[in-house]
């Protein structure tokens, strides 16, 4: 294996740990503290900043490093690679939907975290976050096991 491939693999895994770990942690923090009447507004704003500065760039960097590794290793036509890239696109849609919901939650927080509209947005955020997490786990499965077919 080339030094370039190993370097990209290291970067890919490091970015995945940082971006996906942050994303998972944000989901936990949001669940525990997003509706807190005193600190919820701050928590929502902090989550939004971390999404924009860590999670979204990390997700893009994972695609770029993964695509370049696939190019170097001649894996871009493997079925598992194609499936992972398609799932990446679906995951990107869930991240976009989560960001939209988060913006709505921040606006609705002023009306109170106990309002029906806020609770509805929080529920949608949970759904989108869980779906995105499931997609990430499936992509990791493809990368680790490289299923044929």
Structure confidence by residue, pLDDT tens digits, 83-101: 999 999 999 999 999 999 9
Say what the pLDDT of residue 149 is.
Answer: 65
Question: What secondary structure letter does DSSP report for 115?
Answer: S
Structure token digits, residue 67 = 């695509």
Say what the pLDDT of residue 130 is.
Answer: 95
Say what the pLDDT of residue 4 is.
Answer: 95
For the chain, which residues score pLDDT lower than 50? none
Q: What is the dihedral of CA 87, 4, 7, 71, to 10 degrees?
A: 0
């Amino acid at each position: 294996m080339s030094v370039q491939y190993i370097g990209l693999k290291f970067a890919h895994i490091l970015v995945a740990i940082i971006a996906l770990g942050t994303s998972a942690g944000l989901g936990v923090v949001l669940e525990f503290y997003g509706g807190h009447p005193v600190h919820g507004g701050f928590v929502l704003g902090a989550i939004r900043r971390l999404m924009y500065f860590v999670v979204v760039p990390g997700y893009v960097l994972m695609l770029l490093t993964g695509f370049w590794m696939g190019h170097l290793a001649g894996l871009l036509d493997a079925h598992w690679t194609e499936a992972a890239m398609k799932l990446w696109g679906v995951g990107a849609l869930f991240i976009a939907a989560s960001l939209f919901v988060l913006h709505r939650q921040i606006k609705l927080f002023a009306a109170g975290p106990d309002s029906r509209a806020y609770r509805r947005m929080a529920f949608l955020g949970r759904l989108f976050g869980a779906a995105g997490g499931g997609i990430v786990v499936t992509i990791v499965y493809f990368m680790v096991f490289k299923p044929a077919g």
